[in-house]
Structure 1
């Protein structure tokens, strides 16, 4: 049985690790990475890097490489990849499962402002009288904030940003997990008055939300795009691994 994992996330890596024990039971695992992050590290199983050329290209790859199961474990905001995966799976007749970590939930004391897109988030900043903004939406899509000439931005991403950026920008390249103490110090040192983030979910980058809550700072949270209708979704790698094991009874039991 051949399983293709569309990965690049912590959850995708954990799923590959859980399935690695099934190699001796006739399970083949291929990890697909978009190639947007340098030095992604070694993964259990086979690895391919690069795009497929849209839904049609992915469907052709599924057929050519005899893929039996497809797991989309990409970032919650990789909406185009998820749409392509749904279309390709339907075309190729391959079962698809989406693995998505749960989104963040408001806690008492949070001052959150919802936005449907990066453009909406940028439009909210003048209303909040933002002067010093901590922008943690990734290295892509910063063009939405480029027209804002008054605020100063601290942009944190794993790799250096691409494309247009706001004129007053400092870039911090760093990779989580981040600590609460570190996030508190970062907000204090840079005198941040507004945090902008995507609802990525997970524990690795959540301490910034706690630090902002403690400091009474407003947080603009960009809502994640929906999963295509009818596609099954699980919230953790263990459930995804059990989904695979149910289709391949020869696998060791996964708890």
Structure 2
């Protein structure tokens, strides 16, 4: 792993690793937990690996690596899947390149990797706990998929750290969502009006600075709106929220109050 790329060889994988593979020219990455024996547990939308429920699906499905990959018979999700599925490594990668998500990175490295969804300042729990969470959620689900508040990266970060977002109205743990939506929005809103008509280089420098600052502040390792929750407690809360809310796929069930 290095400054520019987290690419790794399959032979270096260990149970409990958080892995990902970019889809569609680095627009979107799919994340999962490697649990050993060539198996990956990951969170999807109704069992569909690239399903986001947004217009982004048109691009992902038409040009992503999965278009060239035919899932093996043992990895086809069952109908009515709750979203957490187990796949072989090849089916998870779907023709893409293997990368490993980095934990406990220093702030300088975090900022240097401008693209979110590759690393975090947070510390991972021991591998056996990570694998236990992933397997438990495979059998019990992770709530409703939401591309901005409860996606595959949120799932893997929870498995690695046990942290969940307290406030349902805020964005989830996903670095991808923060970098694509939260960071640019914060930069735009925080740029003084006088800079909009000033030197474009100064405006760009200000925007980049605000963007980097917002990414650090929104990282799961820095946020104050998260709490540690054991997986058994999480699934009980998910079941209660599901009963109260009904089958609404737009509600980010893993958030707690």
TM-score normalised by L of structure 1: 0.26
Query: In proportion to residue count, which structure has more strand?
Result: 1
**Structure possessing the higher radius of gyration over alpha carbons:** 1
Could you say which structure has the higher helix fraction? 2
